[in-house]
Structure 1
Amino acid sequence: MTPPKTVPVRRALISVSDKTGLLDLARALVAHGAEILSTGGSARTLREAGIAVRDVSEHTGFPEILDGRVKTLVPQVHGGILGRRDLPAHVRQMEEHQIAPIDLVAVNLYPFEATVASGAGAEDCIENIDIGGPALIRAAAKNHAHVAIVTDPAQYADVITALENGGTTLDQRTKLAGAAYARTAAYDAAIAAWFAGQEGEILPPRMIVAGEKRESLRYGENPHQKAAFYTDGSNRPGVATARQIQGKSLSYNNINDTDAAFEAVAEFDEPAVVIVKHANPCGVATAATQAQAWDNALRCDPVSAFGGIVALNRTLEAEAAARIATLFTEVIVAPDATEEARQILARKKNLRLLLTGALPDPAQGGVVVRSVAGGFLAQTRDSGRIMPDALKVVTKRAPTPAEMADLIFAFRVAKHVKSNAIVYAKDQSTVGIGAGQMSRVDSARIAATKSADAANAAGIDHPLTQGSVVASDAFFPFADGLEAAIAAGATAVIQPGGSIRDDEVIAAADRAGIAMVFTGMRHFRH
């Protein structure tokens, strides 16, 4: 039998944790002749506002028990929701058992995700696992041919409009049902992830990935691709938590590149600037001031920096903002910005300024997911960080203190450069970056060539790589990559080690009189 296109709401069940917009919805229901059934805090809120409400326990003749754990899990409620009005047998049974039909269910769930995010203990988290709510939602969604299920205050306005037009429509109820199942799926995913965490299972036997759409994007990486931005509820500082102060809407590529830049700049304790283009750093520097860090980062590759993303790990100051504003930049992201800096950037109407409130913790765990045909890959975030006492000197000459500081800096940058990654650095600034090449020696040569171009642009008569150190994200499989770095002027090298030809590479370093250290840790980034 064809479901009714429009269903008047004569009886509604309301049981919400989030009371946002509740009174507007309830007043509209009463104004259009609906009886409201409710429980606990929802009923109390409605009564205090002078809205007529009937307790579910009065409606069912069964009291709330077990500290409220059982209040709607009764036939009079679920029968009223699940009963099909188009089946005579269902109608007859409902009449026989005095089960009144319920035409609209408004439920949002106990705040389990927020409770976990607050750092609450296990007992509080378990008490905030909603049981009756998901059961009501799923029942109403299953019978959406006759029942409207409302799970989000953002849906209230459309429901109120429907009430004014005589009732909910089939198309509306179908969309609400889909949203309802998505909500319970995400809720269960959060609970499953919490239980896995309690057991120390970072990658459990069954992984559920859930997200909430923050916005639809104009397109994806290319105009013919559709795209949207989802948040995962983790609240890791970054694009998802940022306030956009000015500028056009972010694109798919903007979001991807901004995330890469902000994760990279968080690696450093000193004032730092990272410039990213196509998800790869093209300039990174730390310095005593933001303005100097910007100048040093820009000098590494001023050509690629045009139209890039700029990330800072401090409150953006006016002097740095003024310097950045001289170059066309898509996005600036920082924890905060001074009022003077905001005023300077406000003149650049299309520039996006994002303020995150905090930095991501490079040492924080978490899982990174990437889709493949027929499934997805999951791995823990690369939170590895090498300290000087973890390094092994493998050459006759050990690095000087200045070289060692630059080696640590360069290796932290290499962690955020696509493999094969080669990073030349000097005085806590990158001076050449080679990214994403199929051959490590090509990355070394490309980085050196770009460094020479940058030197020419700056009016410097020698390559910026002269006297630099060099970092490789993975071992040198042959000595040729190291030899290319030596030819570029590198005096010290940091690399993971572990190649079957390590002895050949070490010998090449010793012949050139340079220092080399092994980290024992690689940073592939594909």
Structure 2
Amino acid sequence: MTDLVPIRRALISVSDKTGLLDFARALDARGVKLLSTGGTAKALREAGLSVRDVADVTGFPEMMDGRVKTLHPAVHGGLLALRDDQEHLAAMEAHGIAPIDLLVVNLYPFEETVAKGAAYDDCIENIDIGGPAMIRAAAKNHAFVNVVVDVADYHALLAELDANDDRTTLAFRQRLAQAAYARTAAYDAAVSTWMAAAIGETTPRRRAFAGTLAQSLRYGENPHQKAAFYTDGSARPGVATAKQWQGKELSYNNINDTDAAFELVAEFGAGSGPACAIIKHANPCGVARGATLAEAYGRAFDCDRTSAFGGIIALNQPLDGATAAEISNIFTEVVIAPGADEAAREIFAKKKNLRLLTTDGLPDPSVASLAFRQVSGGFLVQDKDNGAIGAADLKVVTKRAPTEQEIADLLFAWTVAKHVKSNAIVYVKDGATVGVGAGQMSRVDSTRIAARKAQDMAEALGLAAPLTQGSVVASDAFFPFSDGLLTAAEAGATAVVQPGGSVRDEEVIAAADEAGLAMVFTGMRHFRH
């Protein structure tokens, strides 16, 4: 392949015109002849640049509302012709086809149209056809042709031309070609994913996922693992869309844990009162409501102060100075909230290792989306767990029904359990977790661990008894035996929420009655692996 090739003729057709005029002027100053279409050509002319319409080159006007304008041999021949192949050169000469050395296209805004909730027909009209066809042609012929699909590459191309006497290297064109194919792949993935949802196809024969690089990470879960962070283009408030005010770059584990924390606290909408979630290794070590954010944080912190050290804190309301002052008393990796006032930012500014993220909103936990996980030879896809219940969904199965306060705490505990790795056990008292058991192979072990943590905290806080006394307990799946239930009763729990559905339900219900517990079934499971 030829290494250095000049750019003499460029075709520019872009929907995103950010930086277009400066870029085109720079090409024009280098003597590059410009071809263009529609609105792009109009913008270039209005800027005083000399530009030729593609319609003049093809001999056909743009037609069918712009659906047909670049699908023509005069365009694709100019992109695909091999400059070192005599037959190709002869064909170009015979048919009056001039080479195109640079293609600049960034496609119709299909993803943005879908994100705005546009109607089906409007989404269809925003599927680009000619753009992807040209991009793929130019990328295939990267031995001779440069293809730019991202505004971010305008400067890189100009710098390459400056460094190589208005020519580009093969290595540079290869990088552009790879980016081009990734863009068309992502575009097609967006179209196919949207269409599957639009027509109700829940398990399409082929699935495609795509992302845009947001950050190259120092490493993955461990230093020997390479990693990067990609965004999917959605506007869902969270770690991917947050503004970082201070601190070093987020790590792989920071991003994973911050997402877990914010998705959990979002279960408690800002209008339902202040709430705080503290996460360590993707599991909550404290979740609480309070009259103020500071109180909510303090109650969450008191669930497991040891695990909270170096953790992630998520708030469901904008961070204020009083809460920031409390958080500053221990080392915290990340704080994420819908916002932060000036007093809070000033306090955190003194903590150089703490990252503060704001999101301008909370994600809606009820919105359907997909979750996927790679396995050997493929990947699993499922709906995100957005299952939720209310008091009316609870089925009382014991002789004693829960009190009004117990019901409130049972619903709170059930919501938190949804975000705890299985087997999950969550003790709650007065709107705050007081013991969390996560990720154990045995449910009874999770129950014991959570109770033991509560005992440890009682001793650390100088309490006469652990806060599990008079608490309620949630289990993310049914109790297969009565041992886990009785362990919770021994810890002081007075009411239990669980899915039910075990072949030993009657045995477990009888044990609850004998222990004086109130127990409700949800009919819904919340496994989280």
TM-score with structure 2 setting the length: 0.98
Partner residue, 1:140: 138
The Cα offsets for residues 464-517 of structure 1, whole Å up to 9 and x where unpaired, read as: 111100000000000000011011000000000011111111111111111000
Partner residue, 2:310: 307
For residue 370 of structure 1, give the secondary structure of its aligned residue in structure 2. Answer: strand
Partner residue, 2:251: 251
Partner residue, 1:85: 83
* Aligned with 1:365 (options 355, 363, 368): 368
Partner residue, 1:22: 20
Partner amino acid, structure 2, of 1:235: A
Partner amino acid, structure 1, of 2:266: A
Rounded to whole Å, the distance in 2 between the matches of 1:440 and 1:6 is 65
Size of the aligned set, in residue pairs, is 524
Rounded to whole Å, the distance in 1 between the matches of 2:234 and 2:197 is 14
1:7 Cα offset (Å) = 0.9
Partner residue, 1:322: 325
Partner amino acid, structure 1, of 2:476: D
* Aligned with 2:2 (options 1, 4, 11): 4
8 Å contact 1:32–1:163 — kept in the other structure?
A: no
Partner residue, 1:438: 441
Rounded to whole Å, the distance in 2 between the matches of 1:507 and 1:383 is 32
Rounded to whole Å, the distance in 2 between the matches of 1:60 and 1:364 is 47
Judge which range, 186-195 or 57-66, deviates more: 57-66
Judge which range, 178-187 or 197-206, deviates more: 197-206
The Cα offsets for residues 416-472 of structure 1, whole Å up to 9 and x where unpaired, read as: 000000000000000000000000000000000000001111110111111100000
The Cα offsets for residues 385-426 of structure 1, whole Å up to 9 and x where unpaired, read as: 111111111111000111111000001000000000000000
The Cα offsets for residues 82-113 of structure 1, whole Å up to 9 and x where unpaired, read as: 01011110001111111001111011100000
Rounded to whole Å, the distance in 2 between the matches of 1:341 and 1:421 is 34
* Aligned with 2:55 (options 54, 57, 62): 57
Partner residue, 1:185: 185
Rounded to whole Å, the distance in 1 between the matches of 2:376 and 2:45 is 54
Rounded to whole Å, the distance in 2 between the matches of 1:294 and 1:30 is 59
Partner amino acid, structure 2, of 1:369: F
Task: Report the aligned-residue RMSD.
Answer: 0.8
Judge which range, 103-112 or 191-200, deviates more: 191-200
For residue 493 of structure 1, give the secondary structure of its aligned residue in structure 2. Answer: strand
* Aligned with 2:353 (options 336, 350, 375): 350
Rounded to whole Å, the distance in 2 between the matches of 1:203 and 1:211 is 21
Partner amino acid, structure 2, of 1:322: A
* Aligned with 2:381 (options 378, 381, 392): 378
Partner residue, 1:211: 211
- 1:239 paired to 2:239: yes
Partner amino acid, structure 1, of 2:487: A
Judge which range, 121-130 or 176-185, deviates more: 121-130
* Aligned with 1:391 (options 386, 391, 394): 394
Partner amino acid, structure 1, of 2:245: I
For residue 342 of structure 1, give the secondary structure of its aligned residue in structure 2. Answer: helix
Structure 2 unaligned segments of length 5 or more: list them.
none
- 1:494 paired to 2:478: no
Rounded to whole Å, the distance in 1 between the matches of 2:507 and 2:11 is 76
- 1:522 paired to 2:525: yes
* Aligned with 2:147 (options 146, 149, 154): 149
TM-score with structure 1 setting the length: 0.99
Partner amino acid, structure 1, of 2:202: I
1:146 Cα offset (Å) = 0.6
1:31 Cα offset (Å) = 1.5
Rounded to whole Å, the distance in 1 between the matches of 2:126 and 2:241 is 24
Partner residue, 1:174: 174
Rounded to whole Å, the distance in 1 between the matches of 2:58 and 2:206 is 39
Where does 1:438-517 land on structure 2 (aligned, <5 Å)? 438-517=441-520
Where does 1:330-345 land on structure 2 (aligned, <5 Å)? 330-345=333-348
For residue 241 of structure 1, give the secondary structure of its aligned residue in structure 2. Answer: coil
Among all aligned residue pairs of Structure 1 and Structure 2, give the percentage whose two residues are the same amino acid: 68
1:37 Cα offset (Å) = 0.5
1:152 Cα offset (Å) = 0.6
1:157 Cα offset (Å) = 0.8
Partner amino acid, structure 2, of 1:46: L
Rounded to whole Å, the distance in 2 between the matches of 1:514 and 1:459 is 28
1:81 Cα offset (Å) = 0.6
Rounded to whole Å, the distance in 1 between the matches of 2:292 and 2:201 is 43
1:201 Cα offset (Å) = 2.1
Partner residue, 2:108: 110
The Cα offsets for residues 350-402 of structure 1, whole Å up to 9 and x where unpaired, read as: 10000011111111100001100000001001111111111111111000111
Rounded to whole Å, the distance in 1 between the matches of 2:160 and 2:284 is 51
8 Å contact 1:309–1:332 — kept in the other structure?
A: yes
For residue 240 of structure 1, give the secondary structure of its aligned residue in structure 2. Answer: coil
1:162 Cα offset (Å) = 2.3
Partner amino acid, structure 2, of 1:495: Q
Rounded to whole Å, the distance in 2 between the matches of 1:202 and 1:260 is 25
For residue 189 of structure 1, give the secondary structure of its aligned residue in structure 2. Answer: helix
For residue 238 of structure 1, give the secondary structure of its aligned residue in structure 2. Answer: coil
1:163 Cα offset (Å) = 2.4
Partner amino acid, structure 2, of 1:332: V
Rounded to whole Å, the distance in 2 between the matches of 1:173 and 1:254 is 35
Rounded to whole Å, the distance in 2 between the matches of 1:524 and 1:184 is 36
Partner amino acid, structure 1, of 2:4: T
